[in-house]
Chains A and B, each alone.
Chain A
Amino acid sequence: MLGDYSLGDLGAIFAMQGFAGLILFSVYLLMALGLAIIFGQMGVINMAHGEFMILGAYVTYLCSTFCQTYLPALFPIYFFIAMGLAFLASGALGMLVEWGLIRFLYKRPLDTLLATWGLSLILQQAYRSIFGAREVGVELPSWLIGSVQVTDTIEIPINGLFVMAVTILITVCVALLIFRSRFGQQVRAVMSNRAMAGAVGIDTEKVDRYTFGLGCGIAGIAGSAFTMIGSTGPTSGQLYIVDTFLIVVFGGAASLLGTIASAFSISQTQSTLEFFLSGSMAKVITLLAVVGILMLRPQGLFTLKVRR
């Protein structure tokens, strides 16, 4: 199929295709980061992850409507405010859920799956009752719309760049938080040995709550960022859940680096396949490959060999 095009065209297409892959990578990573913390670090299977994302999206929608109506001056930068609020809203809801639900289930990971599924149904219906069954459109400030013209033929979408920047920022923050901060140290201590961490004076309940809240908050930011490229409706969150879990599991649940590597490899595979095959088949083949590899190598991409 490539025979008919000039070399310059092809170069441009490969460049843009590479970018498409990178944007998909950012999207996947952003979705998976929150879950990597919740599932990878805490072992909680949060099936309502998508609904936490959509909460962030709705917060962004509310912000955009509010700014348009009352504070048009703020509109160009409302997105940053919206992201902050999305983080706080989803994080707060996450902490509430941890307190009311998750903390009773740490020893029964499969039951967290059922309970959070129930939670996701409730949240979906709540969104439907509050915001209506239809999708809502989030209007973007004009500087986020359009693309950067690199050469005559290469154009890079600005909102894609923005999502990438947000992803990098969040990833760096999470990495610093987990590996460099005192809180991260406590989180890692609690996850590796809860009783011992408690004995040395770490408030394990508090750490659990903040960790869960952090994961949900990041989901909220992801949802907020996704309003630029995806749809916001009561059931939109459900679409993401399978992809997100596969990314985290494929990366090796406890490894942040693994999540990044897995998001990268899955997004590149899918984006490349999509270019050569039909979209549906690309999706099927990507998922099949991930499942197949997981069957052969269940520990995922990155794990340490330890004495069991």
Chain B
Amino acid sequence: MTNPVQTLTKSVTVNDNPFMKPVEWLSLFLLAGVILVVLPLMLDGFRLNLVGKYLTYAFVALGLVICWGYAGILSLGQGVFFGLGGYGMAMYLKLEASSIENTKIQSTPGIPDFMDWNQITALPWFWQPFKSLPLTIVLAVAVPVLFAMLISFAMFKRRVGGTYFAIITQAIAAILTILIVGQQGYTGGINGITDLRTLHGWDIRTDSAKFILYFVNGGLLIACILAAQYVKKSKLGRILVAMRDKEDRVRFSGYSVAGFKVFAFCFAAGLAAIGGAMFTLQVGFMSPSFVGIVPSIEMVIYAAVGGRLSLFGAVWGTLLVNWAKTSFSESFPDLWLFGLGALFIAVVLAFPNGLAGIWREHIEPRLTRRAKSLQAPEPAIVPPHGAPAE
């Protein structure tokens, strides 16, 4: 993780467990190339901003690959964490937009407009920390992760099964939505937190800001892919797979299963929260419609279409589904829901491993064969001197 290049060289010589296989490096460069070079060159500012929005969902899909694909924990409440991250960021931006100067027509200047409409005369305590940007960045991720820990710890300790967990997370998404909508004086209600303007004085509404934010988002996404790859490649990743297959056996190898599940769930929650915060920055508002059941399940389908076991697949899946949604719903709004529904069914019935499965079964073998025929002479020349003596 510290130095990918070093790891790469090692993999050729000694490491039988490289950080990434050559074909994975290829996928990474391909993805990074498309996100950071090709799309910005090809698309106008408007479309690029759209892609930026889609990519924030990819954070959620990445988390689901670890949590659902690897650990077998299906969460139907990822919208909760996406939303909490997004709301955290939105609260900071809203406070900055609600300067005394901007809100002087209100009966209480200096607080967000929706609070003023709801007769709230002082900033509530839980808004206070969001006056500070560093604190906001920490809290936007920490609060969702702690919340995830709270939910999952109790349940995994008591060995709640996969289906129950899915249903309970779904119920939590429903509860949080009702709460946010109902407590509009504190949360902005169903309209959400809107009219966000500047980040530490920097106007995020301009085209140039959106362009920069796109790259920040893309870069963060690549970093998160690498982090997820690290988790996946570590022994912890293998324990997650082991747990998904034979939970009892893992317990009898001396592991506390609950702890690992909590980690996977919290990791996914953290990624979703980062996605949510980036969403707010790029879209310019946050509303309860990203917290509820429907968006949460849609996020699962992104991961499923991409391939629930593939980090890169998750990103491609997210891009593909959203691209299809935007273009289909522009021309055939009716057909789109049929299409989306059919997509769910097709992925489950015919392609349980999604795009990544198709890639792995049909494209990768060819690439590997190709790569092997190119690399074949090398090991003969350089003997594996670092290999352990057997």
Q: Mark A112-133, 1 if CB is under 8 A from B, else 0.
A: 1111011111101110110000
**Inter-chain contact A114/B171, CB cutoff 8 Å:** no
Most chain B Cβ neighbours within 10 Å, of A110, A111, A115, A245: A110
Complex contacts, A124 vs chain B, CB 8 Å: 337
**Inter-chain contact B345/A115, CB cutoff 8 Å:** yes
Complex contacts, A126 vs chain B, CB 8 Å: 338
Q: Which residue on B lies nearest to A112, using beta carbons?
A: B348
* Count of interface residues, chain A, beta-carbon cutoff 8 Å: 44
Partner pick for B348 among A43, A105, A125, A298, CB 8 A cutoff: A105
**Inter-chain contact A101/B345, CB cutoff 8 Å:** yes
Complex contacts, A241 vs chain B, CB 8 Å: 293
B residues with CB within 8 A of A: 68, 74, 76, 151, 154-155, 158-164, 166-168, 170-172, 174-175, 178-179, 181-182, 293-294, 297, 300-301, 304, 334, 337-338, 340-345, 347-349, 352
> Which of chain A's residues 80-134 have a Cβ closer than 8 Å to chain B?
101, 104-105, 108-115, 117-122, 124-126, 128-129
Taking the closest CB of chain B, its distance from the CB of A150, in whole angstroms, is: 35
- Known contacts A284-B182, A297-B158; 11 further A-B pairs (Cβ under 8 A): A45-B166, A108-B352, A109-B163, A113-B163, A119-B341, A122-B345, A128-B334, A245-B167, A280-B181, A284-B178, A298-B160
**Inter-chain contact A295/B168, CB cutoff 8 Å:** yes
Taking the closest CB of chain A, its distance from the CB of B324, in whole angstroms, is: 14
How far is A260 from B344 in the complex, measured between Cα atoms in Å?
Answer: 33
Complex contacts, A287 vs chain B, CB 8 Å: 171, 174-175, 178
How far is A212 from B352 in the complex, measured between Cα atoms in Å?
Answer: 23
How far is A296 from B164 in the complex, measured between Cα atoms in Å?
Answer: 13
Taking the closest CB of chain A, its distance from the CB of B135, in whole angstroms, is: 28
Question: Does A294 lie at the interface of the complex (its beta carbon under 8 Å from any beta carbon of B)?
Answer: yes
Complex contacts, B68 vs chain A, CB 8 Å: 110
Taking the closest CB of chain A, its distance from the CB of B188, in whole angstroms, is: 16
Complex contacts, B341 vs chain A, CB 8 Å: 118-122, 125
Q: Which residue on A lies nearest to B160, using beta carbons?
A: A298
Taking the closest CB of chain A, its distance from the CB of B252, in whole angstroms, is: 14
Complex contacts, B178 vs chain A, CB 8 Å: 280, 283-284, 287
Sample (7) of A-B pairs whose CB atoms are under 8 Å apart:
A105-B349, A110-B68, A110-B166, A117-B297, A118-B342, A288-B175, A294-B168
**Inter-chain contact B340/A121, CB cutoff 8 Å:** yes
Complex contacts, B301 vs chain A, CB 8 Å: 114, 117
Complex contacts, B154 vs chain A, CB 8 Å: 295-296
Question: Does A281 lie at the interface of the complex (its beta carbon under 8 Å from any beta carbon of B)?
Answer: yes
- Chain A interface, DSSP helix/strand/loop, else mixed: helix
Complex contacts, B155 vs chain A, CB 8 Å: 295, 298
**Inter-chain contact B164/A115, CB cutoff 8 Å:** no
A residues with CB within 8 A of B: 43, 45, 47, 101, 104-105, 108-115, 117-122, 124-126, 128-129, 238, 241-242, 245-246, 249, 280-281, 283-284, 287-288, 290-291, 294-298
Number of A-B contacts (CB under 8 A): 121
Complex contacts, A121 vs chain B, CB 8 Å: 337-338, 340-341, 344
Complex contacts, A295 vs chain B, CB 8 Å: 151, 154-155, 158, 160, 168
Complex contacts, A43 vs chain B, CB 8 Å: 163
Taking the closest CB of chain B, its distance from the CB of A282, in whole angstroms, is: 10
Taking the closest CB of chain A, its distance from the CB of B327, in whole angstroms, is: 18
**Inter-chain contact B168/A45, CB cutoff 8 Å:** no
Closest 10 CB pairs of A and B: A118-B344, A121-B341, A122-B341, A125-B337, A295-B154, A280-B182, A298-B160, A115-B348, A118-B341, A118-B345
User: Known: A109-B163, A283-B178, A291-B175. Is A122-B168 also a contact (CB below 8 A)?
Assistant: no
Taking the closest CB of chain A, its distance from the CB of B61, in whole angstroms, is: 14
How far is A74 from B296 in the complex, measured between Cα atoms in Å?
Answer: 46
**Inter-chain contact B170/A245, CB cutoff 8 Å:** yes
How far is A253 from B151 in the complex, measured between Cα atoms in Å?
Answer: 21
**Inter-chain contact B348/A242, CB cutoff 8 Å:** no
Most chain B Cβ neighbours within 10 Å, of A47, A117, A249, A294: A117
Complex contacts, B338 vs chain A, CB 8 Å: 121-122, 125-126
**Inter-chain contact B348/A114, CB cutoff 8 Å:** yes
**Inter-chain contact B349/A115, CB cutoff 8 Å:** yes
How far is A290 from B166 in the complex, measured between Cα atoms in Å?
Answer: 15
Q: Which residue on B lies nearest to A295, using beta carbons?
A: B154
